[in-house]
Structures are given as structure tokens and as C-alpha cells.
Structure 1
């Protein structure tokens, strides 16, 4: 019998490499989520991502524990592991972040040796060999892909549909023709997937500008329920692993026939915004269009124009449009500043690779420019305008929402700011405008990067849901992802919904439960992709920093733990761990809010600059060990 302290639930398993796990029950529209500890004996025959039913019990310390696990569904079909031999039995020792126990391995006569890295298919209570990895193969990458259920290859049905799409003529009928409107794309020079294009028509008598944000019409070519759609839905998003891209759609489409390359006719969905001189969006028009990009510009070229008036050769053809693009971005910037929210662009680390060997060779820092800010303003404005358009018409889609920060997080930020010499005075409730006012204090100070990294930690995680709710960080009443349908399934879903409306459909169910189920799936797959990206990036960072063991770097504290400090280096942009026992002048203890480690004569505080030395690196789990330089 269920009670407030004991009940039966269904959830999925997260496995910890130390042998225990957690039963995770996701929140729904009507119930809160929870996490219950699974002790090692209960976990023995289960794997990460197994869906199980279990009895959970609430302990006196307020924590849940799970027992009596019963398998409901096992989505995982293959395991990565290493061959072990025990008492003449050949076993698979799986990735310890996936499974705690060894599995009998059927090799079907293929010779294997202890220590061989293999992929095996799960067959009830045993596993069957699929392939051995070659001696020079990247074991870490194979382990990562199978750990997170990520696939490089598309199935034969999807490939067959790609051929059909490539052979299909463009259906131009019924679309607004924007081919003669000066239109540009702005991206990194290495980007091959171009799904957004920009154009602005000059002000009329009332001073209003017409901004066109045109997005590749992927929905026109990928029918719902098709093999391509099923693959895209399962993947949910592009995953960037530094040296490997796992695309949501085959690159023959996303980087080929659907990409908005210059000079080629493309089908698009366009949102046209009328922006008055004060930056208000006074009207929104959405329609299917026919487009031809006039020029492909890089962020560097656009920043050179915005900052110094330099006109590159590719820009010459659209030179007259550039001042109007700048004017539209400036208007949107003023309007956005008036309602609050914070600019979430920040420095990003990018890996470089040796062309001959493919090995990671270094880490470069890409700093946001005026061009990044311009494009970000247009993308946010388009996403927000589409969200409002959908809400007005009662069309259910996966909305992107971000709740208000937790009161404790606000109190922590307030205390941290005061400790760092800033008077935040945020009060009990944080608003987008009050956060923007605090962020303005940090502009230009030497510790800005460190302080902003702490400020970002206050923000709640964003998620998809069918319920249109505000997005705190953007100070938006409603928000969707619309601008990247070649990279994200949420955007593709939004495109389909608005195209249904444009073609006459009106019978949309209110807060469609199918859309909410899709939203939960997208949240899970997005988190999974982000975890994989983070793990791979940490491994590549460790590989690079292994060449710098013994060298000194400047950095700042980004997180305080009872066991030590996380320190982000200023250059290269990587994070390492400085253990408590390496700190002189102890003993140290964390403050209640974990903003400082306090000792008898000194303290180490979030954001504090430090000089550190790289002591060691470990590729698994991607660890960089630091010592303090006095």
C-alpha cells in the first residue's frame, strides 16, 4: 500500500561508476520529479536508462531509496566494454557508467583476448559480440557514443529518403518571392549548416523598418512519420563532440540541398517584423517564401564593418543593406534593455586539430563580437515573435521556458556580490530587470568574466513544455526555438505547426498531451547530448593540457566545494580542480552557501583570481589537477 513515505513508482536508472545508481522520476504537468538512491546489490543486473518499477522509501534524512527493481523496458541494445576472463569464462566488463556487473560474452567463434575493446548486443541475460575495435581506434569516443545512445550512421530507409529529397524539384507555388530582396547569412567560416538568413528594408514614412528572418523550410521535405523524421526525432539535436559532429539530419540535406548557401534558390519560412524607431515590434507576419541568399558573411567580416566601417569583398553586393541591419539590431537592443534580462553570449573554447593526424592540437578562445550580438538580437526577436504568434492562435508546440531563480540562489548571489565589493541589493525576488541592473555593474571591471560566470549559475535550466510560460533570462513572455530546424527537432516541430495553420488547419487541441510527451523526450535527449559534449570536451581538454603539465596559468575560482576549488584558466579556457589538501594555511571549511572556503588566516572565494600550476591530467574522466602558486 502506498503512503507519503513509501510507494511504487516507475522511472529510469542513472548509474554511477562507483557501483551505485539512482532511480530518476521525471516531473510532469501534474507531479513533481524525484531521485531515489539505488544501492549496489539492487543495481547488479540493471543498466543505465533501464525503465523500471520500484518501491521507494523516504528516510529520516529526507532522501529516497529504491528497492525491488523490476524491468519494464530496456532501450539500450548494445554495450561497449572490455573482455575479461574469469575461471575460463569469457565476460564483458561494461562501461562502469552504464552497468555495474559483468556479462557472459558469446563470441561465436571469434578470437578475443583479455583487454580487447568490443561492442556487444544484449541478448536477455548475456551479450553477443558485434565487433572488436581495431588496435588504433579511439576507445574513448566509442565508449561515449554507446554510453549515451548516440549514433553516427543513419539507417538505410533514411538514406533512401535522402535520395528522394535530392531528386525533388522545388515547389515554388504559393510562396512569396524574396529572391530580389538583399539577403545575407552570417556564420563562422567553418559552418556548413546554414539555416537562417537576414534582410532589412529601409524605413518608410513612419520610420519603421521591415526585418525579414528567413529559415530553411526543412518541414517541407521531411514528412512527419517518415524514416528521416523518426531519425531526427530520436536524435533531437545536433551533438558537437569537438572532433566529431553527430547531425540530426543527414549532411547531404542539412549541409547540402537545404542549407541557405549563396546564389541558390531555397524554400524558407519567413517571419517579417515591423520595428518602429523606438524598437517596438508593431506587427508580425509569417509566411512560406522563396529565397536566394546574396552573400555569405563571416562574423569577423560583419564585426569589421560594424566597428570600423570596413567592407569586405563578399559584402560589396549587399553594402546598402548593412546600415539597415545595424539600425534594426540597435532598435531591438534598446527595447530589450528596457525590459531586462541578460546577454548570455560569452567566451567559448574551440579545439584545433592537426590536419595530418586528426589529433587535437590546441584550444582557441572565440570572444563574442558586435556581429554575434547583432545576429543574436535577430534570432531572439524571431523566436519570440513566433511564440507570440502561436500563443495568439492557440497552437500547441514545445515552448522554451525558464523559470525564476530559486530564492536561495538569489540570496547566494546577493551575498557573493557584497563579498566581492558590489552592492546588489536584489531583495527576495529577482526580476529580469533587476538582474540586468546588477549585470551592468560588472561591465568593464577586471573580474567581469569571473563574476558573470557566477551570475549565470543563478539562472534556472531552460526546458521544453507545451505550456507557454515566460523565459526569465530573455525577459520574454513566451519563447520558442524556430530558427534552427536543420539542427533541432523542436524547431522542426514549430515549423510544422505554423505551416499547418498557414495551410488552413484550425483544430489544434489545447495543451496537446502528445506535444508535452514530445517535450519531455526533447528535454531528455537535449540533456543527453549536452552531457556527451561536456564529457568529450573535458577529455580533449585533458589531452591538450597534458602537454602543459608543470606550467603556470592565471585563472579564477568558478565553484567552491568542501573537497576543493574549481578554477577556470584565463587562457586556454579550461577548468581544473585545486584540491583542499593543496591549499596552504588550513584547515579550511566551506561557508554554508559554498561561496568561500574559509581558513584561520585567509579565504578562497568565488571569482577570486589565482595563479595555478598544472599538476597532472587524466583523460578519464577528463580531469585536470592543479596546485596553487603562491
Structure 2
């Protein structure tokens, strides 16, 4: 009989029996550090977080680094001096969590070792619909190419450890998966098919290229063609496909509302509330008790107001402004979610799991139960609410000269919409102004401070891209009636500038107090992409200054020069593509787009978990706490930041998928109709066209462009005909016909009706000059 590698230790069931006995002991009262064999520099922090603290992650990493060899569970426990059954069980959970987070790796001999950063790369798998994939390193840097053979054993989203095996023909680093740290999918959603007696589910998420086999005993009454949820019974391996069991039948393919049900499950968005979470939220009641208001600054007489969209239901920020001799006093009051959601509670764990609220058309998956998100934490009018306050002094030039933070209790004086505020302050609508006569003087001051903040934003060179947003308007039966372009007014910008000022002030405050926190980081542009864009802009007669590291002001200079030109949209799109996506991290980096050295998110704790952590950091600093006794260490914040960045991307992808589904559904009865449109993107296989007036995008495939061979120019972002010299690029207006709509693939195929006019052949002298210029540049 094979001996278990942990047979020297009590079984889990035995340990659990001993737990009841151990819990009766009063060895470690909460808040008092415990002593183990190895000194733990983070013992005080662990004692504040847990009733029975065990050695911290840092202590375990220090032990493995000191020993220099892999250690078994028993050896780690012995070296640390952990012997109590309760502590052993907690240590096992901690080691598994460290393994899941990529801090440790367990080898084939069941021993834990450190991940060697120079040899192994931790990261998350990004699947491609064509079968291959990439590993996005946790530490940043170049992605690792994963061949279809490597992708057989993983799903899109899995966290793995891989090593570099070589360079492929295209110059990309190629990798091999060494170990799987965390599986991203326990369930998949898709359509059920049965062929020759074999049932399988084709996942709706096209980044998952595995068909999930369903044994006959696991069909549970599901019928071919239905949308189902399959629980993964056996994960994929190099040799075997995944095997699943049908656990839920969502319904027929075209049922109303099916697109959101599919997206929620396809992207693994938590949407069901555990009973303990609902019970914990219900205990707070519906009104703020008087005891909770004690010791707070009373702002209830201050005419604070919320300004949001017409369909908003959770109000987490309120603003107020009054003039001072040198400028303005601006108050940004934010719902005090951290008062209710305490670290380690069921509410906190579920909020972390969700990471953020997800906003679908006409439906929201909130981060917190509605009794809090739409009730006790929402700054609804005429109700007492607890808040965390950022009070700022702003001078006439729009600079924040001083700021302070405190806990307050407030009472919103009005729930205003962007439309109302724009009508009052911009359009000077007398009827709307009369309706809010008492609030009008304060709103006028808000508008004045916004204009000063806006001037300061432009002075420091912060970016301000004019991107289009659209709103879906539904008719009966949840069918799209039309798409409307969202007009961004000064009311939107007013709130945006107030929130940016408060977020920046928060970052400066926490930096002064030296308390670690999750920052909102936006790195600068990629030098290679900048070089390509600069070369293309030169052909348009535009210049991007700044060398290899252009500043945000350099970007805005180019956009200002391109204003009014027909290719403005093209220039803006190419500049945007040089920039990475913003992320959450405790690293001391700035926000490139906003031209700020330090920035964080403080203003939306109802719908973003990083904001909730920032509120905890503020409360810790206000209580006189230091970095060493804060609940979260920098490694823990980094792990949370990576998770929240992932949930943010997940929410975006799920929302885009739902909108793409709805747009395809909207276009199904428009096959054969002709539209004018603007080219929005060009690829090697064709170009995408946004149809005018209805704001839906489709693909014109390169094979439909006529009798010519088209070359894709990646630097100029265009397709050029070899014989006709016809050029298609971003911003060109074309006439197209809707040829096909594929709801499963979320694709709309278009056919060009009127090709652009052929380009005039270049004179020989001009062509010769151009060749000489190219040779000179190459040299």
C-alpha cells in the first residue's frame, strides 16, 4: 500500500475533531502576537487580522529562501514550530493560497519551493479562437507564446507557471507550461450538440477552444441546441479533452435576456449571493443608528448633492462647493462602505471575489447586496448617511493647495442628473433653474471650480480623448429599438474633474502618511509603437515630439494640430493604441494619461473593491496607524490588485459580448440593406466599418474587395491594392451592404457596394524620390 507523503500527520477529520478542543484554549487572544520558532516581522499585523494567527506569508518565504531547498509540509511546520492541529490546518490553507497566487510551487515529490523568477514565469493564460494562446506575466513584460499543443491542457484564464523554450519564426518567445496554479473555470456555458451518439458542449466564450464532452449519464435531460451550463468534472490534459456534467439548462438560443445569462456564466461572473452574505447585510437594517453617527463631523445642513445618469441606482459620491477669498472650498463626500464591510467578513470576501459591479444594458450585477448598494450605502436624498469626506482648497488656477480627510454624516439635498445640471449651468434653462433655485448658487460655484480644474488639467498636459459612447434603447420584449450616441456634456466633465481631484488628493495624503495602498497605474507608451506612429504621422504632415518617451502634453499637441481634419479619428485611434491599459498595483508609479505622479481610486467603494481598500487605508491613517501595522502588506496588495485588474477586464469583456450579441440580434432583419459607414479598423484580413446612424460595426473581408491583391501596411494601418493602388484606411467613408449576421460568432459580414476610386499612378520621378527617401531612412 502506497504511503501518503503526509501520513505522519493526523488526518483532516482527526484534525477537525481536535479543533473543538483547541478552540476552547485561550492561548492567543485576538490582537496579541503569538510566538513561533522563527521570528516573524509581521506578527503584529497577523494578530490584528486573525484570532489564531500563524506565521505570515513573508515568514514562510524567508524560511524557504534561507533553507535553499524544497521543503515538505511537515518540514515547514517543524521549522516554524507549528504543531497544534488547528494551526496545522490553517498553515495548510495558507500554503495552498500561496501556491494559487504563484508565490510557491509544489513539485512532484509534494515539496514546496520558491518560484525562480529568472527561470520560470507566472501568469495568466490568454486564449485565442484559433487554438494558440499567450501567457501574460504577472510581473509585466513581453507575453509568452503558447502553441496549440500547450493550450490543450489549459483553459483561457488559467494561472500557470511556464518556462521559455525558444523563439518562434516570428521572433516571439515561446513557452512550455510547467505547472498549473489555478483553474479559471469550474463551469462553462454553451450550446449542446449531439453527433453520432456523442454529446458535447461548444463553449460560448470563443477563447475557450475545447469542446467539453458530456457522457450520456450526465446530460440531465438537456436537449440538443439548448444553451446549457456544464460543470467541469475532469479538466483538460495534454492527451484528454475536458469532461463535463450538465447542471443547468438556461433555455432556447434566442430567448429574451439570454445574452446576459450566457455572458454571466461564460465569463464566470459571480451572481448568486451566499446565504451568510445576505444575512450579514440584513443585520444592518435600513437606517443609520444614532450610535454610528457619534464622533463624526456633521454635514447634514450642508447642501451636498449627487449628480448621476438618469438610470443610476447607487449613488456613492456627493459634492458641494463654496467660494473662499483665494478660490474655493470643494467637498467630495463618499459613501462610507468600509464602516459596514469589515475585513475578513462574509461581505468582504464576496466583494473581493466579485471585484467590481458589472453594468449590462438594463441590468446590474452589484459588488454588494442591494440592501447596501442601493440602500444603506447609497447617498439617497433626505436620508442620513455615513460618509468619508475629502475636503480640498482649490486656488483660482485650479491647483489643490490643501486637503484633509475625515469621517462624516451627511444628508443629500437632491438627486440631480447630468441632463438637469447641463440645462441649469450650460443652457441656462429658466424652468430647470427655478425648480432648483435654492441649490443654484452652490451649483454655479461647482461649475466655476470645474472650469479652474479643467484649466489646470490642460496646463499639466493631461490627455482628453474624445471617444464615442452609445446607449441601447430597448422596445417591447427586450428587443433593441435603436442605438443612441451619448452626448458628453459639461455636467459629466464637472463630476469627472471633482473625482479626479479627490482621487489625486487621496494618493498624496496616503503617501504623506506612508501607508501602503492600491494605486491606479497607467504606464507610458511602448517605444516601438511610438516609433511606428511617429513615422506614419510624418506622412500626414504631423509631428509627435518627445523622442522615445513623449509626454501626455505631446500627445495633446498632436491632437490639437489634427483638429478639423478628416483624418482626426485615425490620428486619435493610433495614438490610443500606443498606450497600455491602466491597472491596480501598490507600486509607486504615476498615471500617464492624467499626467499625475500619484493617483488612486477613492470615489466609488460601492462598485469597486480597490476603492474600499483605499478607504480602509485612510481610516488607518486617520487613527494614527503606521505602515507596519496596516492590515495589508505590499505583497498582499499586489495580489489583490492583480485580481481586481482581472475582474475589471472580465466585466468589460462580458459587457462587450452582450452588446455584440444585441447588435447582431438587431441587425438580423436588416440583411440585404445598404448603409454608409466609416472604416474604424484595418487588419490583414479586411476592415471594419461602423454603419452611420445605427452605430453597428461589421467586417468587410478582403476576399470581397474585387479582382486585386491587397497588401496590409501595418505602419500606415491601411490596405493597398497591388494593381489599382486603391487604399482603404481608418476614417474613409464607404457604402456597404449587410450580407450575413452570425449570432453565435457575434459577427456581421458586410460587402462593399461602391469601391473607392483607384489611386492615380505616381510619376516616375516622384516614385524614385520616395524610394531614395526610404533607403535613406533605412540607412
Report the TM-score, using the length of structure 2 for normalisation. 0.74
Residue 293 of structure 2 is aligned to residue 172 of structure 1? yes
Give the alignment partner of residue 133 of structure 1, picking from 250, 263, 270. Answer: 250
Other structure's SS at 2:283 match: helix
Other structure's SS at 1:133 match: strand
Q: CA shift at 1:124, angstroms? A: 3.8
Deviations 1:184-228 (A, max 9, x none): 211111111111111001223xx2210111111111111111111
Distance 1:357 1:228, change over 3 A: same
Distance 1:84 1:544, change over 3 A: closer
Mean Cα displacement is larger for which, 502-511 or 312-321? 502-511
Q: Partner residue of 2:575?
A: 455
1: CA distance between counterparts of 2:347 and 2:534? 49
Q: Is the 8 A contact 2:288 2:384 kept in 1?
A: no
Q: Partner residue of 1:562?
A: 684
Distance 1:379 1:570, change over 3 A: farther
Structure with higher RCO (Cα < 8 A, 6+ apart): 1
Q: Is the 8 A contact 2:735 2:752 kept in 1?
A: yes
Give the alignment partner of residue 306 of structure 1, picking from 399, 405, 425. Answer: 425
Q: CA shift at 1:290, angstroms? A: 1.1
Q: Is the 8 A contact 1:212 1:272 kept in 2?
A: yes
- Superposed counterparts of 1:406-445, under 5 Å: 406-420=526-540, 422-425=542-545, 427-445=547-565
Q: Is the 8 A contact 1:454 1:607 kept in 2?
A: no
2: CA distance between counterparts of 1:622 and 1:60? 31
Q: Partner residue of 2:499?
A: 379
1: CA distance between counterparts of 2:576 and 2:384? 41
Q: Partner residue of 1:253?
A: 372
1: CA distance between counterparts of 2:177 and 2:308? 52
Deviations 1:69-102 (A, max 9, x none): 6544324222324444466555545446335143
Residue 631 of structure 2 is aligned to residue 520 of structure 1? no
Q: Partner residue of 1:334?
A: 455
Q: Partner residue of 2:157?
A: 49
Distance 1:34 1:444, change over 3 A: closer
- Superposed counterparts of 1:189-200, under 5 Å: 189-200=310-321
Give the alignment partner of residue 36 of structure 1, picking from 145, 148, 160. Answer: 145
Q: Partner residue of 2:615?
A: 495
Deviations 1:238-297 (A, max 9, x none): 212224322111222112221111111111111111011121211011111111111122
2: CA distance between counterparts of 1:102 and 1:507? 48
Give the alignment partner of residue 606 of structure 1, picking from 685, 705, 730. Answer: 730
Q: Partner residue of 2:135?
A: 24
Q: Is the 8 A contact 2:222 2:228 kept in 1?
A: no
Q: Is the 8 A contact 1:55 1:69 kept in 2?
A: yes
Other structure's SS at 2:270 match: coil
Residue 384 of structure 2 is aligned to residue 265 of structure 1? yes
2: CA distance between counterparts of 1:421 and 1:569? 29
Q: Is the 8 A contact 2:126 2:136 kept in 1?
A: no
Q: CA shift at 1:365, angstroms? A: 0.8
Q: CA shift at 1:358, angstroms? A: 2.0
Q: Is the 8 A contact 1:106 1:127 kept in 2?
A: no
Q: CA shift at 1:47, angstroms? A: 2.9
Q: CA shift at 1:122, angstroms? A: 2.7
For the pair shown, which has the larger CA radius of gyration, 1 or 2? 2
Q: Is the 8 A contact 1:212 1:271 kept in 2?
A: yes
2: CA distance between counterparts of 1:474 and 1:109? 53
Q: CA shift at 1:515, angstroms? A: 0.7
Q: CA shift at 1:138, angstroms? A: 5.3
Residue 661 of structure 2 is aligned to residue 539 of structure 1? yes
2: CA distance between counterparts of 1:560 and 1:464? 31
Residue 228 of structure 2 is aligned to residue 118 of structure 1? yes
Other structure's SS at 2:580 match: coil
Residue 359 of structure 2 is aligned to residue 240 of structure 1? yes
Distance 1:307 1:552, change over 3 A: farther
Other structure's SS at 2:334 match: strand
Deviations 1:566-621 (A, max 9, x none): 22334333322222223357322122414222224332223333333333222232
2: CA distance between counterparts of 1:94 and 1:69? 26
Q: CA shift at 1:505, angstroms? A: 1.4
Q: Is the 8 A contact 2:122 2:137 kept in 1?
A: no
Q: Is the 8 A contact 2:122 2:138 kept in 1?
A: no
Q: Partner residue of 2:207?
A: 97
Other structure's SS at 2:439 match: helix
Q: Partner residue of 1:394?
A: 514
1: CA distance between counterparts of 2:168 and 2:219? 53
User: Where is the helix percentage greater, Structure 1 or Structure 2?
Assistant: 2
Distance 1:15 1:276, change over 3 A: closer
Q: Partner residue of 2:240?
A: none
| Aligned residue pair count | 619
Q: CA shift at 1:322, angstroms? A: 1.8
Q: Is the 8 A contact 2:385 2:411 kept in 1?
A: yes
Q: Is the 8 A contact 2:282 2:371 kept in 1?
A: no
Q: CA shift at 1:426, angstroms? A: 5.5
2: CA distance between counterparts of 1:109 and 1:531? 29
Residue 188 of structure 2 is aligned to residue 76 of structure 1? no
Q: CA shift at 1:166, angstroms? A: 2.4
Other structure's SS at 1:308 match: coil
Q: CA shift at 1:357, angstroms? A: 1.2
Q: Which runs of 5+ in 1 are unaligned?
A: none
Other structure's SS at 1:274 match: strand
Q: Is the 8 A contact 2:672 2:738 kept in 1?
A: yes
Q: Partner residue of 1:13?
A: 125
Q: Is the 8 A contact 1:556 1:569 kept in 2?
A: yes
